[in-house]
Chains A and B, each alone.
Chain A
Amino acid sequence: MYEQIAFYLFSVLTIGLFLVTVLTKNILYAMTSLAGGMVFISGFFFLLEADFLGVVQLIVYVGAVMALYAFAMMFFDATRDIKENTTSNYLVFFLGGMIALMLVIIFIAPIMGDNIQSMYPPIEGAGNAQSVGLVLFTKYLVPFEVAALMLLVAMISGIILAGKKMDNSLTTQEDIIIEKEEIIK
């Protein structure tokens, strides 16, 4: 019962928050609602007994990624509304609606392969984090290491890409130009 209430509550909140992310004009609202959506998604993970995944979701997404976005936005002046010509809503909602509809149809239909044998069942008597650790560091060791390497490369590249010409601020220049234009008016 609680599970159902939690599921539907989280579902509505998640979709609602993500819709705000997608539709809002203010980039700060978008980022905040995205972070909120991420928190509720970790709620699903707890519901699904993937405790460790939920924790990672909170740490990585809500913590690291959002912090990264927040830092990045310092370059782009987040306070102003975004001026953009969004694609016509009819087309977007038609395409999005179609995809959603068809995904729903596909997922509602009985899933084939109900008799799938699990390859790595959770270990009896061990917590989720322990099971995950056992599988991750035995069967998925090589991908894990590769992922670690990938993160390292991503970190270095991110630093190098963003770190060039750090001394001249972009927003201030733009602001100065805008201020000049306002003065001329």
Chain B
Amino acid sequence: MEKFVYIALFAPLVGSLFAALFGMTPKKTFIGVISSLLLATSFVASAILATYVVQTGHGIHVTMMDWISAGDLDIPFGFVVDQISVTMMVVVTLVSTVVHIYSIGYMDHDKSFNRFFSYLSAFVFSMLILVMSDNFAGLFIGWEGVGVCSWLLIGFWYHKPDESPDVNPSISPSWAANEAFIVNRIADLAMLVGIFVLYWSTGSLQYDVVFPALPYLDDAILTTAAIALFIGAMGKSAQFPLHTWLTDAMEGPTPVSALIHAATMVTAGVFLVIRANPLYSMPEVSEVSFFIASLGTFVAFFAASMALIERDLKRIIAYSTLSQLGYMFAAAGLGAYWIALFHLAAHAFFKALLFLGAGNVMHAMHDELDIFKMGGLKRVMRGTYLYMGIASIALAGIPPFAGFFSKDAIIETAFNEGTLVLWTILVVTAGMTAFYSFRQVFLTFDGNERYKEFNIHPHEMYKFVLIAMSPLALLAMIAGFFQEEFHKFITTSLEIMPNYEMSHHTHELALYLGILVLIFAIGGILLAYKKYANGLVRNEKVENSFIYQLLKNQYYIPAFYAEFISKPYALISTMLWKSVDMKIVDATVDGIANMFYKGGDNTRKMQTGNLSNYLNWMAVGLVIMLLVATIYTLKA
């Protein structure tokens, strides 16, 4: 079985390196094909591992090599394939394979085709390192690798400039990439602190050493570690207040968005909390866990509210990711780790499908993303319409699609824990989710064909791309039915994943609760249908209202950051640059150089070419040396 671990892990790396060989050359389709095949290999290996874990009930732990061995610090380069990581591996490799195949079609006309595949595979490889590592150091390596690859990919079209809001409200990809990277750096610092705290107090970074040692630690240390690790997770999973990069990251190519949102990046934060569940389940850190749940719930609502009025197709989906991540954190914070993981997996399928569908639309509309300029696309893009519809139904949580089961379980958890405020918010958010996702579908695919004004001739995506997307659509439809099996499988080993069951009371009420959520969801859909299905009617009064403007400007948070963090920082930097760097550091270095220049210029006169002068100078040197010798003799 060990070889499958290595195959699953290193196939994407091989693909990446192979594609990198051709990074600077013109497009070669076989690069994409080979990368996709290697990813598929990785998926098959993951699936084999998954069946193995399902059948035997225990994981595989391999140690590839000693990595860092210095003094007391001993970090082997090991990988663990247990219930949690195998779930992640299957999800990641499956979604990534589809995204790879999709990219062959999507990036068809891009001149950096080969480079794209190199980055994409490296991204998947980093994520696999992250989920498979058996220690925090390896996890951190993967974590940073994901960060770097996301930077490369978000800024893939780095040459594109900013565009004005009238044409296409976009910021430049390089700016977005930097924002994502820097925000993640801030969070990573906290995460490193958390890792250090754990190492400092337990003397190891191995999961199977750290977690059993937790009950013997101080409250303060546990709380610090829990908070610090969660801040790291917040950065990667774009939780408030570090969420701004996620929507700006939409500047990257759409397959990248699909990958970031569904498989390889934002889920890392949730994965970290799930992986570190022994830490977050400690009674000493219950406040932190509750804070996670509350923040998750808040973000779920907060992001959904911004999605309600967003006009940019990809940003709507990005907000929905944010919102769904909030759901996952809510579940994880409340102790229902397996439900969070289940929602993560289900969400990965339909979110990838949504993004890839959005990519199709974008492709058809020649990179136009404003849904107010679309409409009626279902007549030309049947396949995409179907997929987007399936994904939106799943997202909205209509049974029997995947989203219903996973999301409903989370909402039920909130009820079960007696946190009725959280429950209420989550239920309302479910309705909002249904509304904005169907608003997007109806505005894009139904109603009058507004794109004709802009002289765009949409066309359907390549056939093979649509076929490649079908596994996702299938899974988005049926994944929910495997909830019980998943539950049984994931909680086989309670040390790795604690069980979470609804209380008897909740169980009785489950049906009614489900129906309540359903009512909200269907209400949202109906509202969206009524307002948007028959064409766009813009209401000036609503659009000028305070709340609309507030949401449109994302609660003025980006503006706040720009005004109160970026600007003072730039100011301080400029000041330091001008006063400290230029006047002290630079001046010192220049001064030393000038000293030598001047000295050289002045001593040049000594070099007369006359041997006699040189001999005189030699005698001067001899006098000086003898002087030293004389002083030394007299002293002795």
B636: chain A residues within 8 A (beta carbon) = 112
CB distance from A99 to the nearest CB of B (A): 6
Give per-residue flags for A93-109: 1 if the beta carbon is below 8 A from chain B beta carbons, else 0: 00110110011011001
User: Are B620 and A105 touching (Cβ within 8 A)?
Assistant: no
CB distance from A72 to the nearest CB of B (A): 19
Residue of chain A at shortest CB distance from B620: A95
Q: Is B553 an interface residue (CB 8 A)?
A: no
B623: chain A residues within 8 A (beta carbon) = 95, 98-99, 102
User: Are B616 and A105 touching (Cβ within 8 A)?
Assistant: no
CB distance from A111 to the nearest CB of B (A): 10
A109: chain B residues within 8 A (beta carbon) = 633-634
User: Are B612 and A105 touching (Cβ within 8 A)?
Assistant: no
Q: Is A184 an interface residue (CB 8 A)?
A: no
Q: Is A118 an interface residue (CB 8 A)?
A: no
A98 to B616, CA, bound (A): 13
A106 to B632, CA, bound (A): 9
User: Are A99 and B620 touching (Cβ within 8 A)?
Assistant: no
CB distance from A103 to the nearest CB of B (A): 7
Q: Is B516 an interface residue (CB 8 A)?
A: no
A103: chain B residues within 8 A (beta carbon) = 626
> Which of B627, B629, B633 counts the most A-chain CB atoms under 10 A from its CB?
B633
Residue of chain A at shortest CB distance from B636: A112
Q: Is A91 an interface residue (CB 8 A)?
A: yes
User: Are A95 and B629 touching (Cβ within 8 A)?
Assistant: no
Give per-residue flags for B607-632: 1 if the beta carbon is below 8 A from chain A beta carbons, else 0: 00000100010011011001101100
B626: chain A residues within 8 A (beta carbon) = 98-99, 102-103, 106
A98 to B620, CA, bound (A): 10
B629: chain A residues within 8 A (beta carbon) = 102, 106
CB distance from A94 to the nearest CB of B (A): 9
> Which of B626, B627, B636 counts the most A-chain CB atoms under 10 A from its CB?
B626
Q: A106-B629, A106-B630 are in contact. Are A99 and B612 (CB under 8 A)?
A: no
Report the count of interface residues on B (CB-CB < 8 A): 13
User: Are A102 and B616 touching (Cβ within 8 A)?
Assistant: no
> Which of A91, A102, A112 counts the most B-chain CB atoms under 10 A from its CB?
A102
User: Which of A91, A99, A105 interacts with B622 by CB under 8 Å?
Assistant: A99
User: Are A95 and B633 touching (Cβ within 8 A)?
Assistant: no
Report the count of interface residues on A (CB-CB < 8 A): 12
Q: A87-B612, A99-B626 are in contact. Are A106 and B619 (CB under 8 A)?
A: no
Residues 524-557 of B at the A interface (beta carbon under 8 Å): none
User: Are A95 and B634 touching (Cβ within 8 A)?
Assistant: no
CB distance from A139 to the nearest CB of B (A): 30
User: Are B619 and A102 touching (Cβ within 8 A)?
Assistant: no
User: Are B616 and A87 touching (Cβ within 8 A)?
Assistant: yes
A59 to B623, CA, bound (A): 34
A102: chain B residues within 8 A (beta carbon) = 623, 626-627, 629-630
CB distance from B631 to the nearest CB of A (A): 10
Q: A87-B616, A91-B616, A99-B619 are in contact. Are A105 and B627 (CB under 8 A)?
A: no
CB distance from B570 to the nearest CB of A (A): 62
B627: chain A residues within 8 A (beta carbon) = 102
A98 to B636, CA, bound (A): 21
A39 to B623, CA, bound (A): 30
A153 to B619, CA, bound (A): 31
A96: chain B residues within 8 A (beta carbon) = 619
B612: chain A residues within 8 A (beta carbon) = 87
A162 to B620, CA, bound (A): 34
User: Which of A95, A105, A112 interacts with B630 by CB under 8 Å?
Assistant: A105
Residue of chain B at shortest CB distance from A96: B619
CB distance from A95 to the nearest CB of B (A): 5
B616: chain A residues within 8 A (beta carbon) = 87, 91, 95
A103 to B627, CA, bound (A): 10
A105 to B630, CA, bound (A): 7
CB distance from A15 to the nearest CB of B (A): 19
CB distance from A90 to the nearest CB of B (A): 12
B622: chain A residues within 8 A (beta carbon) = 99
Give per-residue flags for A14-57: 1 if the beta carbon is below 8 A from chain B beta carbons, else 0: 00000000000000000000000000000000000000000000
A98 to B630, CA, bound (A): 11
CB distance from B2 to the nearest CB of A (A): 67
A167 to B423, CA, bound (A): 118
A87 to B634, CA, bound (A): 32
CB distance from A142 to the nearest CB of B (A): 32
Residues 252-273 of B at the A interface (beta carbon under 8 Å): none
Residue of chain A at shortest CB distance from B629: A106
A91: chain B residues within 8 A (beta carbon) = 616
CB distance from A107 to the nearest CB of B (A): 9
Residues 88-134 of A at the B interface (beta carbon under 8 Å): 91, 95-96, 98-99, 102-103, 105-106, 109, 112
A112 to B635, CA, bound (A): 13
CB distance from A58 to the nearest CB of B (A): 30
> Which of B623, B629, B634, B636 counts the most A-chain CB atoms under 10 A from its CB?
B623
CB distance from A168 to the nearest CB of B (A): 27
User: Are A106 and B620 touching (Cβ within 8 A)?
Assistant: no
A-B contact pairs, 25 of them (CB 8 A): A87-B616, A95-B616, A95-B619, A95-B623, A96-B619, A98-B623, A98-B626, A99-B619, A99-B622, A99-B623, A99-B626, A102-B623, A102-B626, A102-B627, A102-B629, A102-B630, A103-B626, A105-B630, A105-B633, A106-B626, A106-B629, A106-B630, A106-B633, A109-B633, A112-B636
Interface pairs A-B: 4 shortest CB-CB: A102-B626, A95-B619, A102-B630, A109-B633
Interface of B with A (CB < 8 Å)?
612, 616, 619-620, 622-623, 626-627, 629-630, 633-634, 636
Q: A95-B619, A99-B623 given; name 19 further pairs at CB < 8 Å.
A: A87-B612, A91-B616, A95-B616, A95-B623, A96-B619, A98-B626, A99-B619, A99-B626, A102-B623, A102-B626, A102-B627, A103-B626, A105-B630, A105-B633, A106-B626, A106-B629, A106-B630, A106-B633, A109-B634
